[in-house]
Amino acid sequence: MKTCADAMIDRQEAIELLSSEGAAFYGFLARAGTAREEHKGRGVTLCGILNAKSGRCGEDCAFCAQSSFHDTDAPTFPLVSAGDMVERAREVQAMGAREYSIVTSGNRIHSEKEIAEICKALGRLSEPGRKRMLRCASLGNLPASTLARLKEAGLTNYHHNLETARSFFPKVCTTHDYEDDVDTVRRAKEIGLDVCCGGIFGLGESRAQRIELAETLRDLDVDSIPLNFLNPIAGTPLEGKRELTPVDCLKIIALFRLMMPAKNIYVCGGREVNLGELQSWIFLAGANGMMVGNYLTTSGRDHELDLQMIADQGLEVLPCGEVALR
């Protein structure tokens, strides 16, 4: 096995990691944790989100509670006001979040009124004279002109997941092409936004396809990688699917850290359901960030428990600034 100074693993080592057991597994885990500390120190970035527009999505993603193709209990409502977006930012900042993301359902935001409302919120969140949160949005497959407008309004990061490997994507979604998502990532990077792009695991993908997704993200040179683990939702095609063990999740985190040692690795949706008592191991496995508070349509755990979990390991939550949002 390579030393941590030469941390990036090749495909063969990636295969070995995902199939490892016992001492070999713990060896990979230790190596990933060391790589995290060498590249990211002992700081942890927390992010929080707002479900700003929910339901009625025309995409048929098999895992998603908000798809109009599925019969779920997910809430349905139009875009919230700029004031509500700012208020939620204040809430997640109080939880320790350094990054805040406005998330909307659907393939993309089309309405000029909706874009203007989001820009209004971004303007309030990026007022001069104070240190501020990282301002992120997840608004679908937007054209470069709209991304540039959002950046001018104050957007710093753009979130757009590929969800899974290109070879597995047709089994997850049939209503748009994988390359549409890849092109969106490229457009966001080209205009100078930091890009947050990852996927969701436990959909039925193979180990090789988990590596394939990591290779795609590495080729795209994304800045941050959110790792989600399936929390099966009643009414979706995957409602009964439970394939992941806590160790599987840790292997996935270690895989992405060791394939992209210098990137930000966030653990997001499905953390509580899939990792259980091993949630605190995510940092040992290489993560340097995680989501706090509630998710889009499911609840997260008390953020105080997360803060204590971080402190118990001698890690430090990275601050977003000295002045609170007004």
Residue 58 above 60 pLDDT?
Answer: yes
Which pLDDT band, with edges at 50, 70 and 90, does 322 fall under?
very low
Give pLDDT tens digits for 150-191: 999 999 999 999 999 999 999 999 999 999 999 999 999 999
Q: Which CATH number fits domain 8-317: 1.20.210.10, 3.20.20.70, 3.40.190.10, 3.30.1600.10?
A: 3.20.20.70
Provide the token pair at 16.
Answer: 């070995």
Domain coordinates in residue numbering, the chain: 8-317
Q: Average per-residue pLDDT in the chain?
A: 93
Question: Which ranges of the chain does DSSP label H, i.e. alpha helix?
Answer: 11-18, 22-40, 82-94, 112-125, 144-153, 178-190, 207-220, 246-259, 271-275, 303-312
Quick one: which of 46, 44, 45, 43 has its CA closest to 293? 46
Q: 300 and 267 in contact (C-beta within 8 Å)?
A: no
- Return the number of other C-beta atoms located less than 10 Å from residue 209's C-beta: 20
Range 208-230 average pLDDT? 98
Residue 324's pLDDT band (boundaries 50, 70, 90)?
Answer: very low
Distance separating alpha carbons of residues 41 and 148, to the nearest angstrom? 32
DSSP state of 77: B
Query: In whole angstroms, what is the distance from residue 65 CA to residue 55 CA?
Result: 8
Return the structure tokens found at 59.
């995409």
Contact, 97 vs 133, CB < 8 A?
Answer: yes
pLDDT of residue 110: 85
List pLDDT tens digits, range 282-309.
999 999 999 999 888 888 899 999 999 9
Q: How many CA atoms lie within 13 A of 192 on its CB side?
A: 8
**pLDDT on residue 321:** 62
